[in-house]
Amino acid sequence: MRAALDLEAIATSLRRVQMEFEVINQQLSWQRDPMSDEVVENLLAGYAYVDALVDAGIDFFVMGQHKHLLELNTLVLCGRNPERRVEFAAHIKATERSFYEERQGGIEDIVEWYSRHRHESAWNLAAGLYVRILSKPQLFIEGNHRTGVLVASYVLLRNGLPPFVLTVENARTYFDPSTVIRETNKLGPLALFRLPGIKKRFARFLQDQPGSDYLLTTPAPVNPRSSLKETLNVP
């Protein structure tokens, strides 16, 4: 038995945020773009992908599996729509090039950080990866907030914990600190003093979320890799 994601409950929560976003936005220190139907649907596709990855026992921090991080980012931008992916082909290619070639802001930096901190609590690990992805220089060209949320949720779910899901209740305490993280440079001497405190506060925030409503207790699938393939719509 393992804790699987309740995608319907996650969808309900995200739709509530979408409906009340104008009010939420007025409470934020920094205004955000509205949540479109496409953003919500793409996020749900990302959560489904995270669920399938955990089912398949895939560790996307090991060599040969980093492509799944790229796929999460593509999902939040394009979903599973093949026409949208063709439209974004140049952007996807540029993201992949930066992801693999940038030494200080690419996957090499993320893997190095993960290898040094992998024995920390799941909350600290999820928060640290979120901060590492979102702070400057960012891991992806676009979609770092949403991809970071999915990566944090993946880490939590692998450890039997609820995912992080945006709600009307936690929106302000998520968005405002995330803007601070986005404007923080992870490189240089100041990062040594700022980032640990930021990570600690975000880990506490994640831990305080009542996320059990987003989990289902289901038997592990007989063939988890088939489950992943079905999610990806690949043969």
pTM: 0.93
Domain residue ranges in the chain: 2-232
Span 31-51, pLDDT tens digits: 999 899 999 999 999 999 999
- The per-residue DSSP string of 98-133 comes to HHHH-TTTSHHHHHHHHHHHTTS-HHHHHHHHHHHH
Mean pLDDT, to the nearest integer, of 55-74?
96
φ, ψ for residue 146 (rounded to 5)?
A: -65, -40
Counted residue by residue, the chain has a size of 235
- The per-residue DSSP string of 43-80 comes to HHHHHHHHHHHHHHT--TTSTT-THHHHHHHHHHHHTT
Write down the CATH number for the domain with range 2-232: 1.10.3290
Residue 66's alpha-carbon distances to 75, 94, 100, 199, 234, in angstroms, are 15, 16, 9, 23, 18
Span 112-121, pLDDT tens digits: 999 999 999 9
- What span, in angstroms and rounded, lies between the C-alpha atoms of 35 and 178? 16
